[in-house]
Amino acid sequence: MTFSLSIFPELSSVTVLELSSTATSSTLNMNVDISALINLEIFKSPGNIGISSLTNDLSNNINLKTINIGNCNIGGIIPDYSNVTTLSTILFNDNSYIGYIPSLSSNTNLNTLNIGRNSLSGSIPDLSNNTALVSIIGSDNSLSGSIPDLSNNTALQTFNFSTNNLSGLVPSLSANSALIFLNVSGNSLSGSIPSLNNNSNLTDCYLSVNNFTGDIPNLSGTSLITFHTPDNSLSGYRGGDITSTLTDFRAPINDLTESAVNSILVAFSAAGGINGNILLQGGTNASPTGQGISAKTTLVNDRGWTVTTN
Protein backbone atom coordinates (compact mmCIF):
# COMPACT_ATOMS: atom_id res chain seq x y z
CA MET A 1 0.00 0.00 0.00
CA THR A 2 1.39 3.39 -1.01
CA PHE A 3 0.53 6.51 0.97
CA SER A 4 1.32 9.50 -1.26
CA LEU A 5 1.29 13.17 -0.32
CA SER A 6 1.77 14.19 -3.96
CA ILE A 7 -2.01 14.34 -4.37
CA PHE A 8 -1.97 17.39 -2.12
CA PRO A 9 0.07 19.97 -4.06
CA GLU A 10 -0.65 22.63 -1.47
CA LEU A 11 1.62 20.69 0.90
CA SER A 12 4.71 21.65 -1.07
CA SER A 13 5.33 24.45 1.44
CA VAL A 14 5.35 22.08 4.43
CA THR A 15 8.62 22.20 6.36
CA VAL A 16 7.84 19.76 9.18
CA LEU A 17 6.21 16.32 8.87
CA GLU A 18 5.73 14.02 11.84
CA LEU A 19 4.01 10.64 11.57
CA SER A 20 3.41 9.33 15.05
CA SER A 21 4.02 5.71 15.92
CA THR A 22 0.26 5.15 15.95
CA ALA A 23 -0.18 6.43 12.41
CA THR A 24 0.46 3.09 10.79
CA SER A 25 -0.04 -0.55 11.61
CA SER A 26 2.45 -3.38 11.24
CA THR A 27 -0.06 -5.08 8.98
CA LEU A 28 -0.15 -2.25 6.42
CA ASN A 29 3.37 -2.64 5.03
CA MET A 30 3.07 0.98 3.93
CA ASN A 31 5.23 2.67 1.31
CA VAL A 32 5.31 6.43 1.99
CA ASP A 33 5.73 8.88 -0.89
CA ILE A 34 6.69 12.36 0.30
CA SER A 35 8.24 13.58 -2.94
CA ALA A 36 5.84 16.55 -3.05
CA LEU A 37 7.33 18.07 0.09
CA ILE A 38 10.15 19.88 -1.64
CA ASN A 39 10.67 22.36 1.22
CA LEU A 40 10.73 19.75 3.95
CA GLU A 41 13.22 20.47 6.74
CA ILE A 42 12.20 17.96 9.41
CA PHE A 43 10.81 14.45 8.85
CA LYS A 44 10.05 12.32 11.91
CA SER A 45 8.42 8.92 11.92
CA PRO A 46 10.08 6.90 14.70
CA GLY A 47 8.55 3.61 15.70
CA ASN A 48 6.30 3.24 12.65
CA ILE A 49 6.87 -0.43 11.97
CA GLY A 50 4.21 -0.32 9.25
CA ILE A 51 6.46 1.78 7.01
CA SER A 52 8.41 -0.63 4.83
CA SER A 53 9.99 1.92 2.50
CA LEU A 54 10.09 5.52 1.33
CA THR A 55 9.35 6.14 -2.36
CA ASN A 56 11.41 9.31 -2.10
CA ASP A 57 14.61 8.66 -0.17
CA LEU A 58 14.81 12.41 0.66
CA SER A 59 18.20 12.79 -1.01
CA ASN A 60 16.77 15.57 -3.19
CA ASN A 61 15.20 17.48 -0.30
CA ILE A 62 18.06 19.95 -0.14
CA ASN A 63 16.62 21.89 2.81
CA LEU A 64 16.35 18.85 5.02
CA LYS A 65 17.86 19.16 8.50
CA THR A 66 16.44 16.20 10.44
CA ILE A 67 15.45 12.65 9.45
CA ASN A 68 14.19 10.41 12.20
CA ILE A 69 12.96 7.02 11.02
CA GLY A 70 14.42 4.95 13.82
CA ASN A 71 12.77 1.68 14.79
CA CYS A 72 10.65 1.38 11.67
CA ASN A 73 10.51 -1.55 9.28
CA ILE A 74 12.76 -0.01 6.66
CA GLY A 75 15.47 -1.97 4.86
CA GLY A 76 17.62 -1.62 1.77
CA ILE A 77 20.67 0.62 1.41
CA ILE A 78 21.14 3.91 3.24
CA PRO A 79 20.75 6.71 0.66
CA ASP A 80 23.57 9.03 -0.29
CA TYR A 81 22.82 12.45 1.21
CA SER A 82 25.94 14.17 -0.08
CA ASN A 83 23.87 16.90 -1.77
CA VAL A 84 21.81 17.59 1.37
CA THR A 85 24.43 19.71 3.09
CA THR A 86 21.92 21.13 5.59
CA LEU A 87 21.48 17.77 7.36
CA SER A 88 22.25 17.91 11.07
CA THR A 89 20.43 14.85 12.46
CA ILE A 90 20.08 11.35 10.93
CA LEU A 91 18.38 8.69 13.05
CA PHE A 92 18.15 5.37 11.17
CA ASN A 93 18.66 3.08 14.15
CA ASP A 94 16.83 -0.21 14.76
CA ASN A 95 15.95 -0.95 11.15
CA SER A 96 17.09 -3.49 8.57
CA TYR A 97 19.51 -1.45 6.49
CA ILE A 98 22.26 -3.36 4.69
CA GLY A 99 25.34 -2.40 2.71
CA TYR A 100 27.86 0.34 3.40
CA ILE A 101 27.60 3.64 5.24
CA PRO A 102 27.72 6.29 2.48
CA SER A 103 30.29 9.08 2.46
CA LEU A 104 29.56 11.87 4.94
CA SER A 105 32.26 14.25 3.76
CA SER A 106 29.77 16.75 2.29
CA ASN A 107 27.55 16.76 5.37
CA THR A 108 29.59 19.33 7.25
CA ASN A 109 26.62 20.35 9.42
CA LEU A 110 26.03 16.82 10.68
CA ASN A 111 25.59 16.87 14.44
CA THR A 112 24.00 13.49 15.27
CA LEU A 113 24.13 10.16 13.42
CA ASN A 114 22.55 6.99 14.80
CA ILE A 115 22.65 3.93 12.55
CA GLY A 116 22.92 1.40 15.34
CA ARG A 117 21.26 -2.02 15.31
CA ASN A 118 21.03 -2.59 11.57
CA SER A 119 22.88 -5.05 9.31
CA LEU A 120 25.47 -2.69 7.89
CA SER A 121 28.87 -3.84 6.65
CA GLY A 122 31.99 -2.16 5.33
CA SER A 123 33.96 0.44 7.24
CA ILE A 124 33.28 3.60 9.21
CA PRO A 125 33.61 6.44 6.68
CA ASP A 126 36.09 9.28 6.95
CA LEU A 127 34.83 11.84 9.49
CA SER A 128 37.46 14.53 9.07
CA ASN A 129 35.02 17.00 7.45
CA ASN A 130 32.33 16.45 10.08
CA THR A 131 33.68 18.98 12.54
CA ALA A 132 30.21 19.68 13.97
CA LEU A 133 29.67 16.03 14.91
CA VAL A 134 28.57 15.60 18.53
CA SER A 135 27.20 12.04 18.56
CA ILE A 136 27.80 9.05 16.29
CA ILE A 137 26.35 5.61 17.04
CA GLY A 138 26.87 2.57 14.83
CA SER A 139 26.65 -0.24 17.37
CA ASP A 140 25.36 -3.74 16.68
CA ASN A 141 26.19 -4.00 12.99
CA SER A 142 28.82 -5.96 11.04
CA LEU A 143 31.23 -3.10 10.38
CA SER A 144 34.90 -3.92 9.84
CA GLY A 145 38.17 -2.09 9.32
CA SER A 146 39.67 0.47 11.65
CA ILE A 147 38.31 3.44 13.56
CA PRO A 148 39.04 6.56 11.50
CA ASP A 149 41.06 9.51 12.72
CA LEU A 150 38.98 11.65 15.08
CA SER A 151 41.33 14.58 15.55
CA ASN A 152 39.06 17.00 13.64
CA ASN A 153 35.99 15.98 15.63
CA THR A 154 36.67 18.26 18.57
CA ALA A 155 32.96 18.63 19.42
CA LEU A 156 32.45 14.86 19.68
CA GLN A 157 30.70 13.77 22.90
CA THR A 158 29.44 10.25 22.07
CA PHE A 159 31.22 7.56 20.05
CA ASN A 160 29.57 4.13 20.16
CA PHE A 161 30.56 1.38 17.72
CA SER A 162 30.25 -1.56 20.09
CA THR A 163 29.49 -5.08 18.84
CA ASN A 164 30.99 -4.93 15.36
CA ASN A 165 34.07 -6.45 13.70
CA LEU A 166 36.41 -3.48 13.98
CA SER A 167 40.15 -4.12 14.16
CA GLY A 168 43.42 -2.23 14.46
CA LEU A 169 44.30 0.53 16.93
CA VAL A 170 42.06 3.05 18.63
CA PRO A 171 43.25 6.42 17.30
CA SER A 172 44.50 9.18 19.55
CA LEU A 173 41.73 10.86 21.55
CA SER A 174 43.84 13.80 22.65
CA ALA A 175 41.85 16.27 20.51
CA ASN A 176 38.49 15.00 21.80
CA SER A 177 38.32 16.91 25.07
CA ALA A 178 34.51 17.10 24.82
CA LEU A 179 34.16 13.30 24.76
CA ILE A 180 31.73 12.01 27.40
CA PHE A 181 30.80 8.48 26.28
CA LEU A 182 33.09 5.99 24.51
CA ASN A 183 32.00 2.41 23.72
CA VAL A 184 34.00 0.16 21.41
CA SER A 185 33.33 -3.09 23.27
CA GLY A 186 32.84 -6.34 21.42
CA ASN A 187 35.27 -5.83 18.54
CA SER A 188 38.76 -7.08 17.65
CA LEU A 189 40.69 -3.91 18.43
CA SER A 190 44.31 -4.33 19.46
CA GLY A 191 47.36 -2.49 20.71
CA SER A 192 47.44 -0.11 23.64
CA ILE A 193 44.50 1.83 25.03
CA PRO A 194 45.24 5.46 24.06
CA SER A 195 45.97 8.12 26.64
CA LEU A 196 42.91 9.68 28.27
CA ASN A 197 44.81 12.58 29.83
CA ASN A 198 43.00 15.18 27.72
CA ASN A 199 39.54 13.66 28.13
CA SER A 200 38.50 15.60 31.21
CA ASN A 201 34.77 15.24 30.43
CA LEU A 202 34.84 11.47 29.90
CA THR A 203 32.36 9.74 32.26
CA ASP A 204 31.78 6.34 30.62
CA CYS A 205 34.39 4.21 28.85
CA TYR A 206 33.66 0.68 27.60
CA LEU A 207 36.54 -1.28 26.03
CA SER A 208 35.48 -4.85 26.88
CA VAL A 209 36.02 -7.95 24.74
CA ASN A 210 38.84 -6.81 22.47
CA ASN A 211 42.53 -7.67 22.12
CA PHE A 212 44.07 -4.73 23.99
CA THR A 213 47.53 -5.21 25.48
CA GLY A 214 49.82 -3.14 27.66
CA ASP A 215 48.63 -0.95 30.50
CA ILE A 216 45.36 0.42 31.79
CA PRO A 217 45.99 4.14 31.19
CA ASN A 218 46.27 6.89 33.77
CA LEU A 219 42.69 7.90 34.58
CA SER A 220 43.42 10.90 36.78
CA GLY A 221 42.48 13.58 34.24
CA THR A 222 38.99 12.21 33.53
CA SER A 223 35.53 12.48 35.11
CA LEU A 224 34.98 8.74 34.87
CA ILE A 225 32.07 7.03 36.57
CA THR A 226 32.33 3.77 34.62
CA PHE A 227 35.44 2.11 33.16
CA HIS A 228 35.14 -1.41 31.70
CA THR A 229 38.00 -3.40 30.16
CA PRO A 230 37.05 -7.09 30.75
CA ASP A 231 38.30 -9.83 28.46
CA ASN A 232 41.44 -8.29 27.03
CA SER A 233 45.16 -8.98 27.57
CA LEU A 234 46.06 -5.99 29.72
CA SER A 235 48.98 -6.53 32.09
CA GLY A 236 49.82 -3.22 33.76
CA TYR A 237 48.42 -0.06 35.28
CA ARG A 238 49.96 3.28 34.42
CA GLY A 239 49.23 4.78 37.83
CA GLY A 240 47.92 8.18 38.82
CA ASP A 241 45.14 9.29 41.10
CA ILE A 242 41.63 7.97 40.62
CA THR A 243 38.69 10.33 40.95
CA SER A 244 36.17 9.52 43.66
CA THR A 245 33.41 9.53 41.02
CA LEU A 246 34.78 6.32 39.47
CA THR A 247 32.64 3.69 41.20
CA ASP A 248 32.29 1.01 38.51
CA PHE A 249 35.69 -0.38 37.51
CA ARG A 250 35.85 -3.72 35.74
CA ALA A 251 39.02 -5.38 34.44
CA PRO A 252 38.44 -9.12 34.92
CA ILE A 253 39.82 -11.74 32.53
CA ASN A 254 43.09 -9.97 31.77
CA ASP A 255 46.77 -10.59 32.55
CA LEU A 256 47.23 -7.98 35.29
CA THR A 257 50.41 -8.33 37.34
CA GLU A 258 50.57 -8.34 41.12
CA SER A 259 51.96 -4.79 41.04
CA ALA A 260 49.10 -3.61 38.81
CA VAL A 261 46.39 -5.17 40.98
CA ASN A 262 47.91 -3.73 44.15
CA SER A 263 48.30 -0.26 42.61
CA ILE A 264 44.68 -0.20 41.40
CA LEU A 265 43.32 -1.14 44.83
CA VAL A 266 45.55 1.37 46.65
CA ALA A 267 44.50 4.13 44.23
CA PHE A 268 40.82 3.44 44.82
CA SER A 269 41.29 3.37 48.58
CA ALA A 270 43.08 6.73 48.44
CA ALA A 271 40.34 8.25 46.24
CA GLY A 272 37.79 8.02 49.06
CA GLY A 273 34.81 6.94 46.96
CA ILE A 274 32.03 4.90 48.54
CA ASN A 275 29.69 2.06 47.56
CA GLY A 276 31.48 1.15 44.36
CA ASN A 277 32.29 -2.01 42.46
CA ILE A 278 35.73 -3.34 41.41
CA LEU A 279 36.13 -6.55 39.40
CA LEU A 280 39.66 -7.90 38.97
CA GLN A 281 39.07 -11.64 38.92
CA GLY A 282 39.51 -14.22 36.17
CA GLY A 283 42.01 -14.67 33.41
CA THR A 284 45.56 -14.66 34.68
CA ASN A 285 45.09 -11.57 36.85
CA ALA A 286 47.29 -11.77 39.94
CA SER A 287 45.92 -11.84 43.47
CA PRO A 288 46.54 -8.80 45.69
CA THR A 289 49.29 -8.85 48.29
CA GLY A 290 50.46 -6.56 51.08
CA GLN A 291 49.17 -3.03 50.51
CA GLY A 292 46.70 -4.36 47.96
CA ILE A 293 45.08 -6.62 50.55
CA SER A 294 44.94 -3.76 53.07
CA ALA A 295 43.35 -1.45 50.50
CA LYS A 296 40.79 -4.09 49.56
CA THR A 297 39.88 -4.57 53.22
CA THR A 298 39.40 -0.82 53.69
CA LEU A 299 37.22 -0.54 50.62
CA VAL A 300 35.00 -3.47 51.60
CA ASN A 301 34.74 -2.96 55.36
CA ASP A 302 34.83 0.82 55.65
CA ARG A 303 33.58 2.17 52.32
CA GLY A 304 30.84 -0.26 51.29
CA TRP A 305 32.58 -1.45 48.10
CA THR A 306 32.24 -4.80 46.39
CA VAL A 307 35.75 -5.90 45.39
CA THR A 308 36.28 -9.20 43.57
CA THR A 309 39.83 -10.47 42.94
CA ASN A 310 41.57 -13.78 42.35
Give the model's pLDDT for residue 1.
46
Give the model's pLDDT for residue 52.
59
Q: What is the mean pLDDT of residues 11-39?
A: 65
Give the model's pLDDT for residue 32.
59
Supply the pTM of this predicted model.
0.93
Residue 9 pLDDT grade (very low, low, confident, very high; cuts 50, 70, 90): low
Give the model's pLDDT for residue 296.
98
How far apart (Å, rounded) are the C-alpha atoms in residues 47 and 205?
A: 29
Is the pLDDT assigned to residue 33 strictly greater than 70?
Answer: no
Is the pLDDT assigned to residue 199 strictly greater than 70?
Answer: yes
How far apart (Å, rounded) are the C-alpha atoms in residues 49 and 71?
A: 7
Residue 58 pLDDT grade (very low, low, confident, very high; cuts 50, 70, 90): confident
Residue 26 pLDDT grade (very low, low, confident, very high; cuts 50, 70, 90): very low
Q: What is the mean pLDDT of residues 168-177?
A: 98
Q: First vs last Cα of the chain: how many Å apart?
A: 61
Is the pLDDT assigned to residue 7 strictly greater than 80?
Answer: no
Using alpha carbons only, give the angle 100, 36, 17 rounded to the nearest 5 degrees. Answer: 75
Decide: residue 154, CB within 10 A, 0-12 exposed, 13-18 middle, 19+ buried: middle
Decide: residue 109, CB within 10 A, 0-12 exposed, 13-18 middle, 19+ buried: middle
Is the pLDDT assigned to residue 43 strictly greater than 90?
Answer: no
Give the model's pLDDT for residue 21.
61
65-108 pLDDT, tens digit per residue, is 999 989 987 889 999 999 999 999 999 999 999 999 999 999 99
125-142 pLDDT, tens digit per residue, is 999 999 999 999 999 999
Q: What is the mean pLDDT of residues 23-30?
A: 47
222-240 pLDDT, tens digit per residue, is 999 999 999 999 999 999 8
Residue 23 pLDDT grade (very low, low, confident, very high; cuts 50, 70, 90): very low
Residue 11 pLDDT grade (very low, low, confident, very high; cuts 50, 70, 90): low
Give the model's pLDDT for residue 60.
78
Residue 29 pLDDT grade (very low, low, confident, very high; cuts 50, 70, 90): low
Percent of the chain with pLDDT over 90: 77
256-283 pLDDT, tens digit per residue, is 999 999 999 999 999 999 999 999 999 9
The chain-wide mean pLDDT, for the chain, equals 90
Give the model's pLDDT for residue 92.
95
